[in-house]
Amino acid sequence: MLHLPYPADSYRFVSEEVKETGFRIDGIFKPIDNNPELPHIFVEVQYYPDQDFYGRFFSEIVLYLYRNKPGHWLALVVYPKRATEKPAGKEFEIFFNSPRLMRLYLEDYQDLNDPDYGILRLIACRDNDALQRVRELLDLPETPGKDVIEFLETVLVYKLPTLSREEIRVMLGLNDVQLKKTRFYQEIAEEERLEGMQIGMKAGMQAGKQEGKQEGEVLFLKKLLTKRFGSLPDAVIAKLERADTAQLELWGERMLDAKALGEVFT
């Protein structure tokens, strides 16, 4: 009846519910201003052999296409070497052989001297060589932009997991004015600032207790609040001066997470 080249008695008709699974795509290059002439490019980095990789990757893409309808699209998979790639199963062969799928093998870029391939060589290099590769990129005549520098920092975090962020910061010389603008540096600076405030607050509280003067605790907390939120209203100053030690310590702890002065006393 359906005129298909398969024996009818080999099939039975059923209705099944397909439940969606949560997927997360490594990265998507989206055209600026949603230019319909340019494709969305789905990027995945696959560093280990996985027989189910393509099934999962194509399922992620199809679900994204169904939800967002971007129009034209391409898929790019980055492998360290050709031996890492495993073919797709029969159910995904149509995608596997499609011109929409592109592959990049990093082993092809390790020995290229063109500076434009520097980041590819960094991803492909041995972990022990990563720091030297990053330094070479930072020493290029054309200084890398903020996004590139943040990417270099991220690569080092993954390739040198035994090093702390502070150690990586020192190795890269992140005291440079340009590097201070990166998100990586700013996150470290904010953590250090909050930790320093907390240590200073506890030290001030302890000094006040040792001297037996609650006034020392009040004064120290006033200074921290003023530095964090600006000039204090008279009502807040009066509240601080009436509080006992336990209340002052509680407000001091709240201050570290508060975004507004009122949240400290809520």
Confidence at residue 193, expressed as pLDDT on a 0 to 100 scale = 63
Predicted confidence at residue 178, as pLDDT, reads 45
Per-residue pLDDT at 250: 84
Q: Is the pTM of this model over 0.85?
A: no
Residue with tokens 């390739």: 159
Across the chain, which distance is largest between two alpha carbons, in Å? Answer: 97
The pLDDT assigned to 238 comes to 85
Q: Where are the domains of the chain?
A: 19-108, 115-178, 188-265
Query: Which pLDDT value is given to residue 1?
Result: 58
- Helix crossing, 165-172 with 130-138: angle to 10°? 40
Average pLDDT per 10 consecutive residues for the chain, totaling 266 residues: 77 78 75 84 85 90 89 89 90 90 82 62 71 75 65 71 68 53 55 64 58 66 79 85 83 79 83
Calpha distance 214→198 (Å, rounded): 18
Edge-to-edge strands of the sheet including 40-45?
Answer: 27-29, 40-45, 73-79, 101-105
